[in-house]
Each structure stands twice: as C-alpha cells, then as structure tokens.
Amino acid sequence: MDVEFLSRLQFAFTIAFHYIYPPLSIGLGVCLVIMEGLYLKTGKLMYEQMTRFWIKIFALIFGIGVATGIVMEFEFGTNWATYSRYVGDIFGSALAAEGIFAFALESGFLGILIFGWNRVSSRVHFFSTIMVALGSMFSAIWIVVANSWQQTPAGYHIVGEGLNARAEITDFWAMVFNPSSVDRLSHVINGSFLAGSFLVLSVSAFYILNNRYVELSRASFKIGLAVAGIASLLQLFTGHRSADGVAEYQPAKLAAFEGHYDSLAVADMYLVGWVNQKTEEVSGISIPKGLTFLIHQDFTTPVKGLRHFKAENRPTAVNFVFQTYHMMVAIGMILIGLTLLAAWLLWRNKLFTQRWLMIVFAFSVLLPQIGNQVGWYSAEVGRQPWVVYGLLRTSDALSKAVTANQVIFSLLLFTVVYVLLFILFIYLLNKKIQHGPYDEEAQEDIPDASKRDNPLMAH
C-alpha cells in the first residue's frame, strides 16, 4: 500500500469517527433550547428534569467530540504538509474564525449550562443554553466554509510555483460565500438536526417501551418529532439545491453519483443499481431521464457523463460514490416517511399505542448517523482526484517525508485509541440512560411535583 492510500484511509477513519459527535451536539442543542424554553414558559418540573437530563448527554457528546477533533489538525501538518501550505491562508482564516466566534462561545457558556443550575437566574441559564446551541452551529459554519472552498474555490489567487505555490485570499467574503458553501451548510445543519432529534426520539421510545418516565418521555418524543419532521422535509429541499450546485460546478462528481458515462446524453436516475466500472454500465431500477429532469427540469437536455472528462480528471471509485450517494438519499426518504407517519398517528392520538413503531424509533438513531457518514463519503470521494477542485491533486498534497510504515503505525494507534474512546462513550451514555432523568422512587414521594412556580416570575 502506498502513502497516498494510507494517508487518505487514516484521514477518512479519523474524520468519520469525529463526525459522529458534532452533528449530535448541534441537533441536541436545538432540542435543549426548546425543552428549557418550555420549562420557562410553563414552570413544569417535568421540563426542568428533561433539560437537566439531556444537558448531561450533551456534555458527554461535546467532550468526546473535542477529544476526537484534535487529531485531524495534527494530520494536516504530518501527512498533508503540501496541502497545508497550499490552503494555509484560506484555512487559517476559517479556522481562526471558528475558534474565536464558535468554540469560545460554545465552551465559554458550557460551564454555566452544566453547573449553573441554582447558581444563576433562569434567564441567564436559558441564555447560556442558546449561546451553546449557537456556538455549535457557528463551529459547523466555518468548518463547512473551509471544506466548501475546496469543492468550489473562490476569492483567491495563486502565488508561487510548483511545490511553493499557495492560495492567497483576495476577497474574504467571496471565499466565505463560495458557490457551494450556503447549500452545503444548510444540508449539513439539517443533517445535524436529524442526528440530535433522532437521539431524543430513540431514548424517549426506549423509555416508553419499558414503561419508565412515560409522561416525560412522551413530551420529549413530541419535541424530537417536531425538530425531526421539519428537518427531514427541509433536507429534501437542501439536497436538491446541493445537487444543482454539483451539476454546475462539479459535473464529474454528479455523473459519478448516477454512474452516467455517456459524454453528452439524457441521463436516468437510479433508485438502486450497481456500476460495472470495466464495462462502464449500470444495472438496476431507474427512472428514465430522471436525472436530466432533476437538473434541467425537462426531458431533453443532455447531462455531461464521465467520458466527457479526461480519465485522469474523473473519480475512480465510481461504484462506491454511486452506492454511498444512493444510501444517503434512501435514508433521507425513510426519515421523511417515519416522521410523517408518526406525526399523523400523533394527530390521531394513536402514536404511543403503536409498540412496533416505538421499537423502530428506538433503533432509528442509527439512520441519520449512517446518512451523514455516507453523504460525506460520496461528497469527498466524488471530488477525487482533486483535494482542491481543479487546483491541487490529492497525490500532490502529501507530505514528502512521511513513509508508509509511519502512517500504518499511526493508523493502528488511532484505531486502538478511538475504539477505546467509543467503548467509553457507549458505556457512559448507557449508564446515563439507564439512570434516567430522575430517581423514580423519590419522585413518587413528591405529592405535587408536576408543577412549580413559573421560574420567569421567580427571578
């Protein structure tokens, strides 16, 4: 195995593991704002217990997310030194903005969020919850901006030549609002809302199935369902916008999404299929001319296929891109179907009597996670062989001094550490879930614990 493959494998492994946690914290942050907002509005103890419980889960996810994110920044310097030098001016600005406007905001108010109960007023605590939720989203904004610039570079010029060449910002806001950043950001944020809300739905369904914390779990399920329902429908719109952007700025990637090889021809849209890269043919179930209609809103305009591009400038893992892209779309449609069905049953007051559906929701937490991961795979593998689209090839971005054995050693080391971290995360998460939002026996001794004074009036 060569250094390029191993370095790509290592980066994919570390970022895929890290990418479990930020979407969860972003989505859960929104749910926390709603839960605590309901507590302030109604004064019900149930919402306070709900908020306190999910803050503990949020803190656990945030901590693991920070620990796993540090490794990637070191990898830029160790495995991808040429790339780091090339994009240093661009990434330096975006990552500095993330540190100043996002991480500092998020981590600064996190202490009040976790330890501020009974130490600050209800308004201050709620304000801290909002700031933490916004901070987690701001962090995503700058990371996605930096990544989007790699997909659709803008607001820069190249200085130097050869190995000394690097991109330098000429227009900061053109760099920030590069052609794909807004569409990709809205897609990522909605995916994060789905990840967090389905965690709430999953745990709530687990409690309902086991007849524990029933009233609280039904209320938290409704909150999760509201966030998931809106986000899943919005994801349909943002996904279409992203596909339009890929069609305009990265047509080779779009062709790989659907395994479309003909240089210029109308293109089908596959529901399921398999790409034979040797024969350059796709077998499966398709909507005839569906991709043409999706992109051009007619059935006659041709779509550029992979043969339109030189072999050295098109993705090589076409079947992998095809499969991950279609898995992402299929999961998105399943999430829409699940949330609409649940909303309809809730409207008919039959939702919580459907045991089979509660079982489905208990396991549904995996779906947004898989959807986010395969969506990222299709986006990143689909832009190969470029690390910066049209400017810098992945093979040229490597560090020249790193050997294959060194990368294998660090990959094995990261694997061991991340497996241990994941086991620790699952153990702690399960422990918090098993303990629950409050002591069930003690709660029964409270004669009128369903309602407290309105906290807004108490301060």
Question: Which positions ≥6 away from 235 have C-beta within 8 Å?
Answer: 187, 190, 191, 194, 332, 335, 336
- Rounded CA-CA distance 251/302 in Å is 12
Residue 397 in contact with residue 80, Cβ under 8 Å?
A: yes
pTM above 0.85, yes or no: yes
Q: What is the pLDDT of residue 444?
A: 54
Per-residue pLDDT tens digits for 179-204:
999 999 999 999 999 999 999 999 99
Q: Tell me if residue 319 falls in helix, strand or coil.
A: helix
Crossing angle between the packed helical segments 181-209 and 355-363, to the nearest 10 degrees? 130
| Span 114-163, pLDDT tens digits | 998 888 999 999 999 999 999 889 888 888 999 999 999 999 999 988 77
118 touches 429 (CB < 8 A): no
Q: How many Cβ atoms sit within 10 Å of the Cβ of residue 61?
A: 24
As a whole number of angstroms, the distance between CA 305 and CA 256 comes to 8
Query: What's the gap between Cα 268 and its chain centre?
Result: 28
Cα–Cα distance measured from residue 260 to residue 165, given in angstroms and rounded to the nearest whole number: 34
Helix, strand, coil abundance in the chain, percent, nearest 5:
75, 5, 20
CB of 274 closer than 8 Å to CB of 238:
no
CA dihedral for 343, 349, 350, 355, sign (positive or negative): positive
Low-confidence ranges of the chain (pLDDT < 50): 445-459
Predicted local confidence at residue 448, as pLDDT: 43
Distance CA 347, CA 350 (A): 8
- State the pairing for strand pair 264-265/269-276: unpaired
**C-alpha distance from residue 186 to each of 132, 144, 155, 242, 375 (Å):** 19, 10, 21, 9, 14
Termini Cα distance of the chain: 65
